[in-house]
Amino acid sequence: MAPRTPGATSCGASPGGGWRRGPTPPSPGTRRTPLLMWTPPDPATGQRGPRGLYAFGAERGNREPFLQALGLLWFRYHNLWAQELARQHPLWGDEELFQHARKRVIATYQNIAMYEWLPSFLQQTPPAYTGYRPFLDPSISPEFLAASEQFFSTMVPPGVYMR
């Protein structure tokens, strides 16, 4: 299994391979380390800094309400998979459960992005999946990463509208 990424490690895992939970079990733990960037005050407490902000493994997880909602969704989905895998494989350790749940969540996210969102956005159908090819380099260039982050930031709504 691959070691955890720095963001994932800082969030910590709970026994059973799930993400560390907060005081209310379905929500993530709160930040324990200072944030590297400015964040708005927590709407519930008005506090700035790490208190009251969720530890999502990415600094941008608390930036906008919609990203926070998506972070909570993926957090819960990961823990659901970790529980199911623990039931199916009682001899697996926490790290193995975490990594296998992580792979399933990533695969789900990639499937949604590639076969549901992207075709709708581009108005084109992607080529059919032909199977895993271990010889292909899965990394992306720093230039593509920088450009795509800027582009996708424009797609996040500026606020939540109450109806």
Residue 5 has pLDDT above 60, yes or no: no
For residue 18, is it within any domain? yes
Is 85 among the domain residues? yes
Tens of pLDDT, residues 112-141: 999 999 999 999 999 888 988 889 888 889
Q: Which domain holds residue 119?
A: 6-138
| Number of Cβ atoms within 10 Å of the Cβ of 85 | 20
Task: Tell whether 96 is covered by a domain.
Answer: yes
Does residue 38 surpass a pLDDT of 50?
no
Contacts of 55 (CB under 8 A, 6+ apart): 10, 11, 12, 20, 28, 29, 30, 31, 32, 61
Average pLDDT, the chain: 76
- Per the domain annotation, does 159 fall within a domain? no
pTM of full prediction above 0.95? no
Domain count along the chain? 1
71 compared with 77, residue with greater pLDDT: 77
